[in-house]
Amino acid sequence: MKNNYALLFSIALMALFAMPSLAHANAPISLSPWLSTSAYPTNVLAQSCFVYGSSLYCMGGFNYSASTGSYSSSFVNPIYYAPILSTGALGSWQPTTSYPANVDWAPCTTVDGNVYCMGGQEGLGTAGYGPYNSVYYAPISSGGIGTWQPTTSYPLSVIELQCLPYDDYIYCVAGGTFGSTFNSVYYAQVQVSGGFGPWIPTTSYPIDIEDHSCVINGNDIYCVAGSDSTYTDAVYYAPISGTGGLGAWAPTTSYPIATAQESCTTADGYIFCMAGDTSNLGYYAQILSSGRL
């Protein structure tokens, strides 16, 4: 089980956007000193964190301290959220509606006032644990999350995939199961009433990959690094077509190090990535008018 630094990285990346001194592509990011903020209510890793409005939400995860000799007992489903203060710090964490399953590695994102969570790794009681293909959504507001409902299941039982919203669609890229990785890419349209329509396959990722990090900038989706038994520094991007699918993937400037589980985001025409399995450094690159880095 690999460490998940999503909470700290989300806070740090938000702080980066206000920095005026970013100038050189693929250079290490210079950060102001790290500051502590409100501790998370439980000791977990591999939870899914996302921002909605002015609050940070985190769902599920894996709690080592809860283990009683069976991994399945350590998967959790609580969800907590905390306000992001004007100083950049977090306010107090509050509980909200728990997720319907005990999972980790389940990517969550928001579209039109709902939060959607896909797949992940589920505790299966006496059966142990395994990849999961269920998808749930719930209304989200400044006061927390409402009732969860099931919607169209993901076509694969997979963990460590990347899922991103674009207009009224969700795009999910690659991922893995135990000992296997995939290059499949699917997208689904968000329905007016909430939930998803059918998942539709689109242009496959050029390599089998998991633990990568993907972002959307303009009409393009970018995926950085990741792992398929070995770490890679490969970066690819693809255009999102007007009909919902993806165009051809193309390589662009490689990441400075081969790594996985880095955390990436975009701001002001740049991609920012931090840390990962092999480094605690951050790097950034400008997105050119051609779409390349």
87-100 tens-digit pLDDT: 999 999 999 999 99
- Closest C-alpha to 163, from 131, 115, 206, 97: 115
pLDDT at 73: 63
Please provide the DSSP assignment of 262-291 as one string.
-EEEEETTEEEEE--TT---EEEEEPPTTS
- Helix, coil or strand: residue 72: helix
Residues near 23 by beta carbon (within 8 Å), at least 6 away in sequence: none
Q: What percent of the chain has pLDDT over 70?
A: 84
pLDDT(24) > 60:
no
pLDDT(235) > 90:
yes
pLDDT(22) > 60:
no
Q: Where are the alpha helices (DSSP H) in the chain?
A: 6-16
Residue 218 included in any domain: yes
Question: Considering the entire predicted model, what is its pTM?
Answer: 0.87
- Average of per-residue pLDDT across 90-114: 96
- Average of per-residue pLDDT across 9-26: 41
- Helix, coil or strand: residue 220: strand
Give the phi and the psi of residue 157 in degrees, each rounded to 5. Answer: -85, 110
Distance CA 293, CA 284 (A): 10
pLDDT(45) > 90:
no
pLDDT at 243: 84
Buried b (16+ CB within 10 A) or exposed e, 102-133: bbbbbbbbbbeebbbbbbbbbbbeeeebebbe
Q: Over the stretch 51-84, which tens digit does the pLDDT of each residue have? A: 999 999 999 998 866 555 545 468 899 999 999 9
Residue 292 included in any domain: no
More confident residue, 14 or 162: 162
- Tokens read off for 252: 């662009």
Residue 115 included in any domain: yes
Residue 172 included in any domain: yes
Residue 99 included in any domain: yes
Distance CA 206, CA 77 (A): 34
- Helix, coil or strand: residue 196: strand
Q: What percent of the chain has pLDDT over 90?
A: 68
Residue 53 included in any domain: yes
Residue 1 included in any domain: no
User: How far is C-alpha 241 from the geometric centre of its chain's CA atoms?
Assistant: 22
Q: What CATH number does residue 211 fall under?
A: 2.120.10.80
Tell me the residue range of the domain where 189 lies: 6-286
More confident residue, 128 or 87: 87
- Average of per-residue pLDDT across 12-22: 39
Beta bridge partners of 274: 263, 282
pLDDT at 23: 31
Q: How many domains does the chain have?
A: 1
Residue 291 included in any domain: no
Q: Over the stretch 169-184, which tens digit does the pLDDT of each residue have? A: 999 999 998 789 999 9
- Average of per-residue pLDDT across 157-172: 95
Cβ atoms of 140 and 149 within 8 Å: the answer is no
- Average of per-residue pLDDT across 265-283: 91
pLDDT at 32: 75
Average pLDDT, the chain: 87
- Tokens read off for 211: 């633990």
pLDDT at 18: 38
Highest mean pLDDT out of 29-33, 107-111, 119-123: 107-111
pLDDT(21) > 50:
no
What are the contacts of 67-74 at 24+ separation with CB within 8 A? 70/128, 71/123, 71/128, 71/129, 72/123, 72/124, 72/125, 72/126, 72/127, 72/128, 72/129, 73/123, 74/123
pLDDT at 63: 82
